[in-house]
Structure formats: C-alpha cells, structure tokens
Structure 1
Amino acid sequence: MSLREKGALLVLCGAIFLEGLDIAMLNVALPHIRADLQLSTATLSAVVSSYVIGYAGFMLFGGRICDLYGRRRVFLISLSVFIALSGLGGLATEGWMLLAARFLTGLSAAFMTPAGLSLITTNFSEGPRRNKAVLIYSGAASAGYSLGLVVGGVLTAISWRWVFFVPAIIAMVILLLAVKFIADSRQSEARRKFDLSGALFLTAAMLFAAIGIARLEHPEGLQTALAACALSAVFWVIFVITERRTSEPLIRLGIFRSGSLVRANLAMLLFGGAFFGFQFVVTLYLQELLGWTPLQTGLAVIVVSIDAILAPTLTPALVNRFGNVRVIVVGLVLAAVAYALFLRLGLDWTYAAMFPTMLVLGVGFALAYGPLTIVATNGVVENEQGLASSLINTSFQFGAGLGVSAVGALAVLGLGSGADAGARLEALRAAMLVPVAAAAVASFVMLTAKKERAAI
C-alpha cells in the first residue's frame, strides 16, 4: 500500500471503530443515565432503539446516496454531523433531548458506515489487497464493540456524559485526517436522475421494520410491533413496484440475483443476531445474577476482541489458502460451539469457566465477519458498491435487533422481580439457545454456496 492508502485505511478503520465504540459505551452507561435523568424503563429502552431505528431505517438509502453523489463527500458530511450530535447527547438534560440526539446520530451513521466500506471496496482492487483491507476494517469494528464496554465502564465512573463527549472528540481527529488522506473514487452516476419516490418508500419500509423489531423485545408492545411490520411489508411492496417501473431505480433489483450476495447477507443477519443476543445474556448474567460491575463485565468480554489481531493477520492467510466460504463456515461453527459452551452457566461460575467461550468466540468472529463482508461485495460493479456495503451492514444491524428481541423475550419470562435466582438462571439458559441456533443455521446457509462447494 502507498502512504495515502495506508492513511485512508487508518481513517476508515477509525470511523468504524468509533461506531462500535459509541454503541457499546452507551449500553454500559444506561443505568447511570436513567438515575440522573429520571427516565422510565420505556424511555431508557427507547434511547437504544432510537439509534437502531435511525441507523437501520436509512442505511440502504444512505448507501445509494454514496453511489450517486460521491462517497468521500457523504463520508465527510455524515462524520461532521456525527460530531455535533454526539456532543449534543452529552449535554442532554431531558429524555426527549437524548432520544432526538440518538436518532439523528444513528441517521448520520447510516450514511457514514456504507460510505466508509464502499470507499475501501472501490479504492482497493478486488483480490488479496481488498481482502486484506476489508479484514483489517472488520477487525477495527470488532475492537470497537469489545473495547467500548471497557472504556464505557471507565468513563461512566467519571460521568456518563463523557460517553458522548469522547466519541465526538475522536470523530474530530478522524475528520481532520480524512480530509488529508481520503480520495474519492469515480462517480459514473453523479449526474443521473434521483429516484425520489423510491427513496421515500424505501426509507418508510426500513423505518417501520426497525420500529417493529425494536418493539418486539417488549411484551406490551407486541401489537405495535406487528402493526409496524405490516406497514413495512406494504411499503416494501410499493417500493418494488416503483423500482420495476422507473428507468432510473434507486436500487437495481437485479443485484439480488447474486446468490453469494444473498447468502452472505442472510448469514450476516443470523451472525449479528447471535452475537448481540449473547452480549445481552452475558450482561444480565454477570451484573444481575453475579453482581459484577459494568467495568468488570467489560473486562470479562474483552478477550473477544482478539479478532482485532487475528482478522488482519491470520484470516487473510486462511482466505488465500482455503477460500472465503470455507473460512466463514469454520468461523460460524466455532461461534456456535462457543455459545453452546455457555449453556452450562451457573451461579457459582468463575471467569475461568467463561474464558473458553470468550476465546473461541473471538476466533470465530475473526474468521466469519470479514470474509462475509468480502463475499457480499465481491463481483459487484463499482457504481453499486455503496448499495452492497449498506446491504451487509443493514443485515448485521437488523440481525442484532432481532437477536436481542428474541433473547429478551425468553429471558424476561424468568427475570421478574419476584423470581428467585434459580428461575432467572434457567431463563437465561433458555435464552442462550437463540445464539446457538442462529449461528448453526448461518453455517448451514453458507454450506449451500454452490460455487465454492467443492472447496469445502
């Protein structure tokens, strides 16, 4: 790589690291935010789901905007908005201010994330160089999710407001470096007609789908969730009809004829659901049942971030030797094994009993996440790289929402205030079946890949 390419990769990895860090730190700080702002349980949950709604609701729209109007331009603008809104969250004195800030921060991330990944896939030619860059990028994302729990615990001990201020400061540094190092790729579609009606229908479909998923984790919100999902389905139908009839579609539906792209996105959805569902169980288990602090919880799962070391070092060699599909399947199987090991959780567990799960999961994440991204973007023409990037990120985020909702629905059965520790433990064990099943199904999905079946 040239000096400019290394600088650009550093900047883009910093942005995706920041996105993971922001989400993880907030999760740790939630109890302190509730106490300081006197938030109800419903409002506290909405603080998390509002980000997901903004992020997932606009992700596909954001990816296509990158293709049409320039990835560098969209990246810099959305990063600037992220800086302003993250800082605003730290200044919130009312619940509604925090909700608005998190929704708009998620919206800015919906443009920033696909812009960042598509800048990598368009600036590095398909093959070993791009694979290496994508795997380094995925390692940075994993490190953000893992280290964010630890950093969030430290900052929350000072003040929960620093959970919002620190990402804004980091984003400022990234923005300054981005202006220097990032060069835009070709924009063959920059002057094409913009499909406004398709954009509106797509955004409505994604927004209602995100709202439906966010409400699934609340038993009292089941009717709202079903209504939102039904509206999402209606808007999806209208969107497909609109795209088939227009000469300049926002999304060329033919992209879904790629079997590898569809399989990679489905596997990523299941993989994201398993991973975030597992994180939810671990947080409840360590803090609610074992009485660990947020910082201790973060330190317990930090070994999962070994992915940040393995993804750019071990994974590229394995991909070059065995191919993407083979490496992905092994990674997903290891993830399923890691989750299955955690089914034995007990009230007398020490960290030594949990360590194998954390270590095996870190290796599995390193082998699955990056190569899935590669498969989802390989073979896609340059003027649709933003779309392909947003698809794979949307799959991961929606999977995360589904996983947490499914795990939460099972865990809540035994986590009432009147339930004893034994009943709550059994509920968490039942909830752990969701990550195990999701990872297992994801590995089966990738085993059906026809083109690389012989290599498996």
Structure 2
Amino acid sequence: MLLDSIEVSLVLVALPAIGADLGLGPWGVQWLMSGFALGFAVSLTLGPRTTARWGLRRVYLIAMLVFAAASLAGGLSTNMAVLVGSRVVKGACAALTAPAGLAMIGETFPSGPRQRRAVSVYSLFGASGFSLGLVLSGLLVADSWRWTFLFPVPVALALLVAGRRVIPDVEGAPPARPGLSLLRNGPLMRAVAGAGVLNGVYIGLLLLVTFTLSGGMGWRAWQVALALLPACLPLVISLPFAGRLVQRFGTSPLIAVGALLAFAAQALALARSGGGSYAADLLPSLLLVGASFVVSFAALNMRATQSVAPELRRAAVPLYQTGVQLGSVVMLPLVAALLAGPGGPRAALLATSVLGAAGVAVAVTGLRTRSGEAGA
C-alpha cells in the first residue's frame, strides 16, 4: 500500500519537468498518471483468480520483480510510449496484490473496534505514502525527473526480499462467485461510486494546481510539492483516530460530509480561478479537499469491507478499488484536455465541480439507510 501510494504521487510533481523535456503539454504527460490507474483498474479483477491459482506468495514475488523491472525500464528510456507502458505495467502489478490486504483485514478481524483500527492502519500507510511521494518528487526532480522512475526500484526489491521471508506459502483459496449480487448491493455500490468520485475530483484538482504553479506562477518542483501537502497531510495526522470517528457517527454521515467538502473545494477553486495568489486562490481549496479525505477516506474503506458477507470480500474489494482507480482514469485525461483547451482552468474546474456535485447526490442517498447501519 505504501509503495502503490508513493508511485501515484511521485510522478505528479514531475509532470511539468517531463513535459518540458519531451516537448509535451498537460494532455500528453498526464498519461503517465492515468496509465498507472488504467493498468491498476483493468487488472484488479484478475487479482483474486490469479492468487487463487498460483498462491499469494508467488504472485506477490513475481509482481514485485516485474514492478522493479518496469521502473528501471522507464527510468532509462526517453520514449514516451515506453514511459507510459512502464506505468501501465506497474499499475497492473500493484493490482495483483493490493486488494488482498483490505480483504484479509475484513476476514481476519471481526467487525467492531479491532477491524476499524486495522482499516485505519491500512489507510494510514496509503495516505503516508502519497505525502512521502510528493516530498520525494520535489527533491528528486531537482536533479532529474528520471529519478522519480528509478526510486521505486530498490523499494520493490526490498519488498521482494521481505515478502520471501514473511508471506506464507499456502494454497490460494478459490474466489467466491457472487454473480450479480455485488452489483445489487446498494451500500457497496455507493461506496464504489463515492470513492471513485472522491479520488477523481482530488487528483483532478492536484493536477490542475501542479500545472498552475509550475507554468503560470513559475514555481520549482520542490515548491510545488510543499504547496500540495495541505491536501494530504491532514489525512495522515487524523487517520489514527478514524476508527473512533466512525464508531461515533457511522460511515454514511461521514461519507456524505466528505463528499460535500470535496464539492465545496472544487466550487471555491472555480469561483477564485483567474487569481494569481496561491494563499488566497488555491490553498483554501486544497485544505477543503484534504478535509474531505479526513472525514470520508477510512469510512469508505470500512463501508466497502462491512457491506458484504466475509466470503464475498475477496471479490468485493477489487470491485471497490476498481471504482477508485476509474475516478483517475476518467478525470485525469478530461482535466488535462480542458486545461489545454480554450476554457483553460475554469473549464477544468467546472468539470470537477459537476463530478463533485454528483458525488454529493450519491452520498446523500446513503443517509436514508443509516438506520440499518447498526453503528458500522
């Protein structure tokens, strides 16, 4: 989870430098971000079947080895097709192992405080990795953007060595065949849609802010990295207390408040677009979208694991995480295309605002079933 999150944010701050070096605009370089998300989303449903056939340990070790090789190939290449291809491959490798963690938490820990703490720890590693990736990107790009591709190589190899020691060599369990039951599960599908919208508007706003600061304001990579931290550091600080928050308020109200904050962040950025100040025009929206994750990120993860029977969780979690990744797959190309078009940042922010409003509508429908949550 830590490596996957680092991989997402590590390239974000480097996009303007890569574009300048290769002669590409936002539309061209955004494929380095959406390529990873696309590889992740497309391969997620294969994860349970692959691990069932070959075993989690074998799949994990192979995935880490291929991940390291793809990182090395990307860092040594100047061809955009190879760069994007390496990101797609790494996304696919992450998809083979990522769902197992959240699913095993749901199976190992009974519903209640222990499960909420476990999901909070799982979510904490994701949030910490994203923040760490931003900082590392700002430092690495100062020398060369290639280091953002090469840095994951030793990390993946270290995880490969550790995995050989700690992952038991057991036969994979056949995945359950839920048929259409998961798609008819209202709480799960609302979590899928809510997480996808939240991720889409979040990554869309960060992409826009990155190019605004790098291009329009002439900020350096390390300055951009620090400027983006208000959107993710609050989540890192608050996640240890997420379980208590869910215990007190339940998942549905927190998801609804988070969706409302995410929409407010986009609407405020749209209202203030055209200004030339980071503190007055961009920072408030970054803080709001960061607050939306503080409120709803862990709640969405918990809702995804609690909304289905234990035997279906290994099938439900990939579906949930596919929805998360599809938010990036849809919004990154759209925001980049609008950003480079005649409408500029205002058109891009209008699109993210519309998606944010749709997220609020989905979340509000979940409030009607709150009485059936039983404190979940």
TM-score norm. by structure 1 comes to 0.73
Structure with larger RCO (C-alpha < 8 A, sep 6+): 2
1:56 CA displacement: 1.4
Tell me: CA distance 1:25–1:260, structure 2 relative to 1, closer, same or farther (3 Å).
Answer: same
For residues 18-47 of structure 1, give each alpha carbon's deviation from its aligned partner in whole angstroms, at most 9, with x where no partner exists. Answer: 112112222322343345556788764544
Q: Percent identity?
A: 33
The answer as to whether partners of 2:63 and 2:93 remain within 8 angstroms in 1 is yes
Map of 1:192-271 to 2, 5 A cutoff? Answer: 252-271=179-198
Instruction: Return the letter of the residue paired with 2:50.
Output: I
Instruction: Give the alignment partner of residue 25 of structure 1, picking from 2, 6, 10.
Output: 10
2:70 is the alignment partner of 1:85: yes
Q: Which of these residues, 154, 157, 160, is aligned with residue 175 of structure 1?
A: 160
Unaligned runs of 5+ in 2: none
Aligned amino acid, residue 364 of structure 1:
S
Pairing 1:311-322 to 2, within 5 Å after superposition: 311-313=239-241, 315-322=242-249
How far 1:62 sits from its partner (Å)? 1.6
Aligned residue type for 2:236: A
Displacement after TM superposition at 1:96 (Å): 3.6
Residue in 1 aligned with 2:298? 370
CA shift for structure 1 position 390: 1.0
Q: Counterpart in 2 of 1:433?
A: 353
Question: For the Cα contact (< 8 Å) 2:38–2:325, is it kept in 1?
Answer: no
Matched-pair contact (CA < 8 Å) for 1:275–1:435: no
Cα distance change on mapping 1:114 and 1:310 into 2, 3 Å = same
1:228 match: none
How far, CA to CA, are the matches of 1:385 and 1:51 in structure 2? 24
| 8 Å Cα contact 2:263-2:360 kept in structure 1 | yes
Report the CA distance between 1:450 and its aligned residue: 5.4
Residue 386 to residue 433, structure 1, CA distance change in 2 (3 Å): same
Cα distance change on mapping 1:378 and 1:161 into 2, 3 Å: same
- Corresponding position of 1:330: 257
Whichever residue aligns with residue 197 of structure 2, its letter is: L
Q: Distance in 1 between matches of 2:329 and 2:56?
A: 27
Q: CA deviation at 1:372?
A: 0.9
Match of 1:52 in 2: 37
1:33-88 per-residue CA deviation (whole Å, 9 max, x = no partner) reads 34555678876454444333322111112234335554344333322321222122
> What CA distance in whole angstroms lies between the structure 1 residues aligned with 2:31 and 2:287?
32
Which moved further from structure 2: 121-130 or 64-73?
64-73
Residue 150 of structure 1 aligns with which residue?
135
Offset of residue 253 of structure 1: 2.5
- Tell whether the 8 Å contact from 1:319 to 1:327 is kept in structure 2 after alignment: yes
Q: Are the counterparts in 2 of residues 75 and 115 from structure 1 also a CA contact under 8 Å?
A: no
Residue identity matched to 1:51: F
Is contact 1:272-1:403 (8 Å) kept? Answer: no
Query: Structure 1 residues 346 and 35, CA, compared in 2 at 3 Å: closer, same or farther?
Result: closer
Give the deviation of 1:351 after TM superposition. Answer: 1.9
Q: Distance in 2 between matches of 1:255 and 1:413?
A: 39
Offset of residue 146 of structure 1: 3.4
Note closer, same or farther for the CA distance 1:22–1:179 as it changes in structure 2 (3 Å cut): same
Matches of 1:289 and 1:441, distance apart in 2: 34
Q: Is the 8 A contact 1:277 1:400 kept in 2?
A: yes
TM-score normalised according to structure 2 size: 0.86
Q: Distance in 2 between matches of 1:96 and 1:409?
A: 19
Aligned counterpart, 1:342: 269
Structure with higher Rg: it is 1
Q: Secondary structure at the match of 2:369?
A: coil
**CA 1:181–1:164 in 2, change beyond 3 Å: closer, same or farther?**
same
Q: 1:413 aligns with which of 341, 355, 359?
A: 341
Tell me the distance in 2 between the aligned counterparts of 1:169 and 1:85.
Answer: 12
The aligned residue for residue 226 of structure 2 is 299
- Corresponding residue number in structure 2 for 1:211: none
